[in-house]
Amino acid sequence: MEPTESFHKRRLVSNLVVENFKSSSDADVKHTLFWRFRRRDTEFCAYIRRLLQNPLFNSIMISIISLNAVFLAMETDYAIKLNSYAYLELADLIIISIYTTEMLLKFYVDPLNYWRSGYNLFDVIVLLIAYLPYILDKNDTKHYKPWDIITGVQALKILKLISYSRGMRSLITALGQTVKTVIYVLVLLFLLMFIFAILGYGLYGDPETGDSKNWGNLASALFTLFSLVTVDGWTDLQDELDKRGFSASRAFTIVFILLGFFLFFNMSIGVVIMNIQDSTQNYERELKAEKQAALRAKKQAILQRQQEEVNMLMHQQKTSEYKTFSELVEDFKKTLHHSDPMVLEDFCASIPFIDLYLTSLDLQDNTVYRLQELYYELVGTLNTILEDVREKSMLPPEKDMKS
């Protein structure tokens, strides 16, 4: 048993050595790659990153996108576009240059991870669409129709607002999560419509006695069923069948509306609402976590500042005329204001809290003592009033006996 155990131990040690060598070699390779692609302008990159994350920068970009929407709305008026064409062209160039600068800054901060964000890819596509009117020749007759399409697609620049609103991003995320489930619901709905379309074509698609306009072929039957799913004009469709003597068609219409509209159509709406609610709750939890993290960071900064001040006081106590540290603290208390924050690690066991608690107890004792004095005065006053009432009640019998 002993040689076997020693063999297993040696084998285990050798495996550990090989694994450590592999991990160290992998770490060396990663370190080498990181060192090769390491930035040389880290301070400037950190400054640009803080600039992009600044709420003021986001507010400015939201204002520029809103202003772009106003200019696009002004271009829909022919008179304004004719009289202010040069100004609108200049404003569009300035806005595009701002969008380009923003894209270059984001790409400069993180060139590798920039393309992993879907919002960044969408911004690049929107920017390319914005440059198309300046690439195509307006005077070329071949570009008339593409020019109109490109001009209409310029409204996509307003969708850049989504990347600056966390609420909109959470909503888009929820809609993206519902796509798969909604597709399944739509496939089931299409199968239901396909079955009922073939059934409706066989029952009511006769060109002589039936409704050939709505049920004459598969395409028209599917379109009629789509109208029934949306519950738009279904009474007119049913009246057409009633005029041709298909009284039993009411059961067909009611069954399809119950299955198509009340079941599948509302099911897709319910799935979207549930995912949006989950996304909203996650968004609220993230905001709460960010607020707590900011509060912890602020508390840590205050604690660090207080520790530095205490260390400074200790150093001053050693190099000043104060004999004890308590004298230095008492002198330091005189320089504090009531608005100065104080963060305590152990609140209940701290000296300031004990001092405040004892002061509150003294004030409470004084209040109780004053209430007792008022109670004694009230009892004395009531006793005096009672004696006066007794004396007044005893006076008339004495007067009768005297008389």
Please tell me the predicted confidence (pLDDT) of residue 337.
60
Residue 77, phi then psi, degrees to nearest 5: -90, 120
Residue 152 lies in a domain: yes
Count structural domains, the chain: 3
Report the C-alpha gap between 12 and 4 in whole angstroms.
Answer: 12
Tell which of 107, 134, 164 closes a domain: 164
In the prediction, which pLDDT does 241 show? 86
- d(C-alpha 89, C-alpha 83), whole Å: 12
Q: Answer with the one of 148, 164, 180 that is the final residue of a domain.
A: 164
- Asked if the structure places residue 295 within a domain, the reply is no
Helices 325-333 and 266-319, interaxial angle, to 10°? 120
Closest of 268, 265, 264, 267 to residue 182, by C-alpha: 268
CA distance 142 to 150: 14
Same domain, 130 and 236: no
Same-domain status, 183 and 213: yes
Q: Where do runs of H (alpha helix) occur along 258-346?
A: 266-319, 325-333
Distance CA 102, CA 251 (A): 61
Whether residue 63 is found in the same domain as residue 173 = no
Q: Find the helix packing angle between 266-319 and 166-204, rounded to 10°.
A: 170
Q: 3-state DSSP call for residue 112?
A: coil
CATH number at residue 257: 1.10.287.70
Residue 118 lies in a domain: yes
Residue type, 333: K
Among the candidates 164, 186, 201, a domain finishes at 164
With CA atoms as reference, report the closest residue to 168 among 280, 254, 274, 271. Answer: 280
Domain shared by 144 and 205, yes or no: no
CA-to-CA distance for 128 and 121, rounded, in angstroms?
11
**d(C-alpha 52, C-alpha 196), whole Å:** 56
Residue 194: what pLDDT?
92
Determine the structural domain holding residue 371 and report its residue range. 347-390
Yes or no: say if 148 and 132 are a contact pair by the CB < 8 Å rule. no
Going residue by residue through the chain (403 aa), what tens digit of pLDDT does each one get?
Answer: 444 445 444 554 445 444 444 444 444 444 444 444 566 778 888 888 888 888 888 889 889 888 988 888 888 888 888 888 888 889 888 988 998 998 899 888 888 888 888 888 888 888 888 888 777 766 665 655 676 677 777 778 888 888 887 777 777 777 777 777 788 888 888 899 999 999 988 888 888 888 888 888 888 899 999 888 888 888 888 888 888 888 788 888 888 888 888 888 788 788 778 877 887 788 788 888 888 888 888 888 888 887 787 777 667 656 666 556 566 666 666 666 655 555 454 555 566 667 777 788 888 888 999 999 999 999 989 888 888 888 888 765 554 444 4
Same domain, 254 and 358: no
Do 176 and 160 fall within a single domain? Answer: no
Which tokens belong to 62?
Answer: 């939201």
So what's the pLDDT on residue 354? 73
User: Is residue 216 located within the same domain as residue 284?
Assistant: yes
- CB < 8 Å & 24+ apart, contacts of 300-308: 302/341, 302/342, 302/343, 303/343, 303/345, 306/342, 306/343
- What does the pLDDT read at residue 154? 78
Cα–Cα distance for residue pair 109/311, rounded to 1 Å: 39
210 and 142 in a single domain? The answer is no
pTM for this predicted structure: 0.52
Q: How far apart are the first and last CA of the chain?
A: 132
Tell me if 22 is assigned to some domain: no
Residue 78 lies in a domain: yes
Claim to verify: residue 93 and residue 191 sit in the same structural domain: no
Which residue, 280, 221, 228, 281, is CA-closest to 250? 228
